[in-house]
Amino acid sequence: MTPQRLLIDTDPGIDDAMALLLALDAPELAVVALTTVFGNAPTATTTQNALALVEMAMRRDVVVARGAEGPLVRPALESAWQFHGRNGLGEVDLGPPRGEAIAQRAAPFLVERIMAEAAGRLVLLALGPLTNLALALRIEPRIAERVARVVVMGGAVNRAGNASAAAEANTRNDPEAAQIVFDAPWPVTLVGLDVTQQTLFTDEQMAWLAALGGAQSTFLHAAHRYYLDAYRRNKALDGFHIHDASALLYLLDPDLFVTRPLHVEVERHSPIHFGMTVADWRYSPAQPPNVEVCVDVQAEPLMRALKKRLARLK
Ligand code: BDR
Ligand code: CA
């Protein structure tokens, strides 16, 4: 089978790092490039991390394009350093990467790459705020016709938020961009808190990860040690949820998930609720679905699939 061509927009980020290393290792995927964005850390940091991760995976053929430094129209929120550390990787120091991001910025790069692909061949996986994708749509709306689909880690349609009482972090970081991406005429699937919070990676799984002993799994263990401690400190939870890697697993094994076509609006006006993803479950003809939302997941098979892929890492 020909590997699926994939471009990943990301804000690494501890859980982004897990998703990226798994994507770069997946035989079913051909990762063509990474674009970076602010979110878990400032863009200068997420870009360095993306480069370091590509090098760790021995995939320097994968280009990295540096993206937006902040949201489309509102001031940037504080980055999520309490969960990801000041360096975005749980204070695990990977040293400076040898490679550099390409000169072209992420939005024009996305346009060029997408328009150069045959229609329907490229999938986008978005693991951070959707600013780069929204900017690319503004530059060239026809990119929406060319990609096969967009899988987004973001939102929460039937759950409380994580970054605020109402909103998930990626949609809260740039609600206007999220709305633009949801409304564009390309198939979008949301892998949000409704499913990602159904899986908890605990001390037991961490001990298993540590015992694997490869360079990548040892790094992931060290970074996720910080992440797990942050979950204990900030959420009183004895484990962490699988956010970004769940979006990757949706791409690789969609049968693990139940989805619904829904119309989703991203709240952009209320000072309390901004970034909240409000789904219209009435299926009103006035508001046809704009996205497909993962509403349920088989949590145990997902954990097994995750562990199987982690065990492959060098
Ligand atoms: C999302 O927010 C980020 O902090 C994580 O990397 C993930 O993409 C979870 O809400
Ligand atoms: Ca992320």
Reported as a single tens digit per residue, the pLDDT across 21-56 is 999 999 999 999 999 999 999 999 999 999 999 999
pLDDT tier at 245 (50, 70, 90 boundaries)? very high
* Residue of 10, 18, 40 to mutate, ligand 1, most atoms within 8 A of C-beta: 40
262 CA to centre of ligand 2 in angstroms: 23
Q: What is the pLDDT of residue 18?
A: 98
The CATH superfamily label for domain 4-312 reads Ribonucleoside hydrolase-like (3.90.245.10)
- Give the residue-averaged pLDDT of 208-218: 97
Q: Which of 84, 221, 241, 243 is catalytic?
A: 243
Known active-site residue 11: yes
Distance separating alpha carbons of residues 25 and 130, to the nearest angstrom: 24
The predicted structure's pLDDT at residue 202: 98
DSSP 33: E
**Distance from the CA of 218 to the center of ligand 1, in angstroms?**
21
How confident is the model over 2-23, as a mean pLDDT? 98
In which residue are the tokens 């040892």 written?
Answer: 218
Which numbered atom of ligand 1 lies nearest the CA of 168?
Answer: 10
Is the confidence at residue 1, as pLDDT, over 90? no
Mean pLDDT of 149-176: 98
Site to probe by mutation for ligand 1, drawn from 8, 10, 11 as the one with most ligand atoms within 8 Å of Cβ, is: 11
Alpha helices in the chain (DSSP H): 14-25, 43-56, 81-84, 106-116, 131-139, 143-146, 169-173, 175-183, 193-196, 203-212, 215-235, 244-252, 299-312
Crossing angle for the helix pair 244-252 and 14-25, to the nearest 10 degrees: 20
The pLDDT of residue 203 is above 90: yes
Residue with CA at minimum distance from ligand 1 atom 4: 40
Average pLDDT over residues 115-144: 98
Question: Ligand 1: does its nearest atom lie under 6 Å from the Cβ of 13?
Answer: yes
Portion of the chain with pLDDT greater than 70, in percent: 100
Helix (H, G, I), strand (E, B) or coil at 279: strand
Amino acid identity, position 44: A
Q: What is the pLDDT of residue 156?
A: 98
- Asked whether 7 and 125 are in contact (CB, 8 A), the reply is yes
Cα dihedral 204/210/213/216 (nearest 10): 110
pTM, two decimals, is 0.98
Q: Is the CB of 153 under 6 A from ligand 1?
A: yes
Characterize 207-230 residue by residue with b for buried, 16 or more Cβ atoms within 10 angstroms of its Cβ, and e for exposed: ebbeebeeebbebbbbbbbbbbeb
Compute the distance from residue 286 Cα to the ligand 1 centre, in Å.
Answer: 32
Distance 286 CA to ligand 2 centre (A): 33
User: Cα–Cα distance between 280 and 273 in angstroms, integer?
Assistant: 16
Q: What is the pLDDT of residue 29?
A: 98
Q: Which atom of ligand 1 is nearest to the CA of 241?
A: 9
Q: Which whole number is the average pLDDT over 222-241?
A: 97
144 ligand 1 Cβ < 6 A:
no
Pull the structure tokens for residue 116: 């150069």
Share of the chain above pLDDT 90, in %: 97
**CA–CA distance, 110 with 114 (Å, rounded to integer):** 6
Q: What was the pLDDT predicted at 284?
A: 84
Backbone conformation region of residue 85, classed left if phi is above 0, alpha if psi is from -120 to 50, else beta: left
Amino acid 277 reads T
Q: Looking at residue 299, what is its pLDDT?
A: 98
What distance in Å separates the CA atoms of residue 203 and residue 181, rounded to the nearest whole number? 37
Reply yes or no on whether the pLDDT at 102 is more than 90: yes
CB 254 within 8 A of CB 29: no
The pLDDT, as a whole number, for residue 254 is: 98
pLDDT of residue 283: 83
**Which band of pLDDT confidence, cut at 50, 70 and 90, is reported for residue 230?**
very high
The ligand that comes nearest to the alpha carbon of residue 275 is 1
Phi, psi of 305 (to 5 degrees): -60, -40
Query: How far is residue 299 from each of residues 126, 199, 253, measured CA to CA in Å?
Result: 22, 6, 13
Ranking 38-47, 63-72, 73-82, 92-101 by mean pLDDT, the lowest is 73-82
Provide the mean pLDDT of the chain. 97
* Tens digits of residue pLDDT in 285-314: 889 999 999 999 999 999 999 999 999 998
**Six-digit token string for 286:** 């006035």
Ligand nearest to the CA of 227: 1
Q: Is 280 a catalytic residue?
A: no
